[in-house]
Amino acid sequence: MSTVPERSELADEHTWALESIFESDEAWADHFETVSGRIEELTAYEGRVTESSETLLELLELREEIMREVSQLGVYANLRASEDTRDQEYQALSGKAQALSSEASSAVSYIEPELQELTEADIEEYVDEVPELAAYDQFFDDVLRAKPHTRSAEVEELLAELGEVTSSPSDIYSMLANADMTFPTVEDPDGEEIEISQGNFTKLLKHEDRSFRKQVHEQYYDEWENVRNTVGTSLKKQIRKDVKVARARNYETAREAALDGPNVPTEVYDTLVDTVHENLDLLHRHAELKGDALGVDELQPWDLYMSLTGEEGPDIEYEQAKDWIVEAVEPLGDAYQQRMAEGLESRWVDVYENRGKRSGAFSSGTYDTQPFILMNYQDDIASMFTLAHELGHSMHSELAQEAQPWHDAGYEIFVAEVASTVNETLLTHHLLETVDDDELRLHVLDEYLERFRSTLFRQTMFAEFEQQIHERAENDEPLTPDVFDELYGDLKGAYYEPAAVDDHIQREWQRIPHFYYNFYVYQYATGISAAVAIVEGILEDGQTGGDGAAAYREMLRAGGSVYPIEALDIAGLDMTSPDPIESALSVYGDYLDRVDELR
């Protein structure tokens, strides 16, 4: 019987090096007490932010010192909690860190309202008096830009204090999905008992036996049906929270509020949805190719993850995946490639699934730590691409933190999803051009097409769903599991027109954690569009670390020192235009042609 191992069964080299942050939980606890005792130092400046240029610099430097410590405490606790969501001690640790973060945010919530009493001319005068303040130009611009949506100091403090409460829907959903839910054990065609999990579900849907896939599909979603009302309620509360917070900040819609944070025009969102809708025929063609490959009259939901070869892809062990990914990023320059290789040998990655481990994958870390990547590696091509994806995030952080001060190092998701997808695109190119194995090349091509499908089309579909359910909340219309099923089912039917939509796949919204991230998912789709254009430019240079690669690295190093739209402009892209999206769709069509020829 194939079972998911316990955490204690994993080899140290396949786990992340959290001891590099704190050598023990006791060291964390000691540091927690020290930092929590310093929060009141920040409140001493309330009412004094604009007292003088010297006072302002003193406060900003103190804020950085304390918030960097708070971040380290939070990252350690959250990563420990992610290792095993059943471990109540680490869940408590994470809760304490979250509470401290809320307390610290509340303690500095007066800064922006008080700064907004100044004009641009006042800021310029302060910089003339204390030149060190010039390093905060982007911060000052962002604060003044947000003036129409910033409330009084009292309201801002209240909103900050409520951060721990307003995150409840997401926290509850995460605990339910990752810790409390268990899925059935199914018998594969070889007679082996396999426990379905959040980590292996999509891999099982790539099994060549169709009846087995159907069994996995139905039993997995039947388990979600058992918690239908709980998940429906948590999502409803999340959406209504988004709407109420947006209104509290004088925004007309939750979407406007979410996109205004990183200063992304809402037209970018609308252009994405419109352009993708105009090209759904490409996705329909992809689905038809899957149906042809499988030799079925009608494509079913449990067929959608299948390879265009009609077979499971070859196993890709973790060590091989690492080697190929490092080789693939050579066009980005020797320094980039070497830094990534060193990171992979320095326990950046928590590699394999274990019982209770948070599902999916992510890249984390702080300004003062190495990157940390959570994986649930499954020895397949998809896991290799996911590793490349998360390494893109980690390398982005490394370069930005190296080049920028703390307050300008953090970058927005809009830009982050470009860095991750550039790595995926380079990996595809490398494997198609260098691996002398037709079967592997066909599976790599298929995987990249799947990445297009799931990143450009699927995430845009998610974005439409997210927009629709927020609009219902804004219009005071009911949000129930039945409503979610209907809206999601209609979108699934439009996007995957050649495929059937059953009552199980209508529940898919229940398993998508990104719906708790407040208009997050569209950035995957814009990210792949920008990434494809960047990689095409880099490869056209024909040399390692050429002009295109240099511009791209400059974009990464910019971090948060410029707004996301401006950062992509450094790499030569205009994201307010449909051109990058159309370019990506053109490549998707070309790859469909290529795989059709190879089959």
- Residues annotated as catalytic (active site), given as ranges: 390
Residue 473: strand, helix, or coil: helix
Nearest of 454, 537, 547 to residue 205 by alpha carbon: 454
Contact 450, 598 (CB under 8 A): no
Dihedral sign, Cα of residue 483, residue 233, residue 375, residue 555: positive
Would you give the DSSP letter of residue 313? P
Residue 499: strand, helix, or coil: strand
Residue 150: strand, helix, or coil: coil
Contact 108, 59 (CB under 8 A): no
- Pairwise CA distance, residues 173 & 129, whole Å: 50
Burial of 89 (0-12, 13-18, 19+ CB in 10 A): exposed
Say which residue the tokens 């605990």 belong to. Answer: 175
> Strand 185-187 to strand 193-195: parallel, antiparallel, or no bridges (unpaired)?
antiparallel
Contact 16, 362 (CB under 8 A): no
In whole angstroms, what separates CA 412 from the centre of its chain? 11
Say which residue the tokens 């090349």 belong to. Answer: 441
Contact 318, 528 (CB under 8 A): no
Nearest of 198, 47, 35 to residue 109 by alpha carbon: 47
| Sequence-ordered strand ranges (E) for 346-472 | 349-352, 362-364, 372-377
Radius of gyration over alpha carbons of the chain, in Å?
A: 24
Burial of 315 (0-12, 13-18, 19+ CB in 10 A): exposed
